[in-house]
A and B are shown apart, each in its own frame.
Chain A
């Protein structure tokens, strides 16, 4: 497989779940990939899983200092590159009555502000004909319990996809979003450390979904790569990978 031969890709939040699955498909297809993550354990296991085709870099997606350093690193490693996948995101499950200012600020600083400045700092390095993909979420268009703050961060991100698309169009760079529904990733388990509760919510989510199951990281990754490399006349759009949940 050399579908992605010669492509250079930066994935912010690429050490687990959807980001890691996307990185794997790219490395398998011959691309050079730089992925970021925060936890030392995650960085090490991602490096092992991805092998020599990938650079795994420690970077906090919510820190503007780290984003500056990441841009410098991407420039040093790649010069320029072809795809920026902004995938880092933190979950916050809390009724809005119990959401504190600190909780609110944390989720907005990673999901919205960090993403905004990542694109600002890295877009100058993206080649003409390249693309940006942002990971939004169906909570951006659906009212869902416990997701008031997190859903709003993703709504901001959805809007960035449109705004960046229009500003980057003259440079020949497309910007789109992929919107996962419930997806079977490690962060799903992390959001619900209690195993019984995780199993119960997984069961409920499957039941509530028109396709009666969760999605897989691979299904989202395929959509990301379609938007990145094949959807050459699509920009500013959002593609749901949600079993129909945002539509039905």
Chain B
């Protein structure tokens, strides 16, 4: 497979789940990929998993200092590149009454502010004809319990996809979003450390989903790569990979 031969890609949040799966498909297709993550264990297992086609870099997606350092590193490694996948994100599940200023800030820094400045710093290195994909979430368009601050931050990100698309269009760069519904990634376990509760929530999600199952990282990664490389006349759009949950 050399579908992605010669492509250079940066994935912010690429050491597990959707980001890691996307990185794997790219490396298998001949691309060079730089992925970021926070935990040392995650970075090491990712580097092992992806092999020599990839560079796993420690970087906190919430930190503007780290974002600056990342841009310098990308410039040194790739000079310019073709595709930026802004995928880092997680939610803290909390009812509105229990949200504190610090949980709110954490969720917004990771899902809105970090991505905003990541694109600001990295877009100058993206080639003409290249693209950006954000990972939003269906909570951005659906009312869902326990996800108030996360849904708000993802709605901000959805808006960035439109605004960046219009600002980057003159440079020939497309910007789109992929919006996963419930997906079988390690994050579900991490967000819900209690195993019984995690199983219960997965069961509920499967039952509510029109397709009666949760999605896979591969299904989201395929959509990401379609938006990045094939959807050459689509920009500012959001593509749901949610079993129909946001539409039905």
Contacts and interface: CB of A to CB of B under 8 A. Distances in A.
B210 A211 contact: no
A96 to B, nearest CB: 28
Contacts, number: 118
Contacts of A246: 236-237
B106 interface: no
Interface in A221-248: 222-223, 226, 230-237, 239-244, 246-248
Interface stretch (B37-45, B78-86, B238-246): B238-246
B170 to A, nearest CB: 8
Contact of B166 (A162, A181, A210, A236): A210
Contacts of B231: 219, 222-223, 226, 239, 241
Contacts of B174: 211, 244
B210 A236 contact: yes
Interface in B168-227: 169, 174, 181, 210-212, 215-216, 219-220, 222-223, 226
Q: Which of A165, A210, A215, A247 has the most CB of B within 10 A?
A: A247
Given A233-B216, A233-B241, A236-B247, A241 B233 contact: yes
A66 B227 CA distance: 37
Contacts of B248: 162, 165-166, 169, 235-236
Q: Which of B210, B216, B223, B246 has the most CB of A within 10 A?
A: B210
Given A166-B210, A242-B233, A248 B247 contact: no
B219 A165 contact: no
Contacts of A202: none
A46 B212 CA distance: 40
Given A244-B166, A247-B162, 13 more contacts: A169-B211, A216-B233, A231-B223, A233-B181, A233-B243, A236-B247, A237-B246, A242-B234, A244-B174, A244-B234, A247-B161, A248-B165, A248-B235
6 contacts: A161-B247, A174-B211, A210-B236, A223-B234, A244-B236, A247-B236
A222 B231 CA distance: 8
By Cβ-Cβ distance, the 3 closest A-B pairs, closest first, are A247-B236, A236-B247, A244-B235
Given A215-B233, A234-B244, A244 B169 contact: yes
Nearest to A237: B240
Interface in A3-24: none
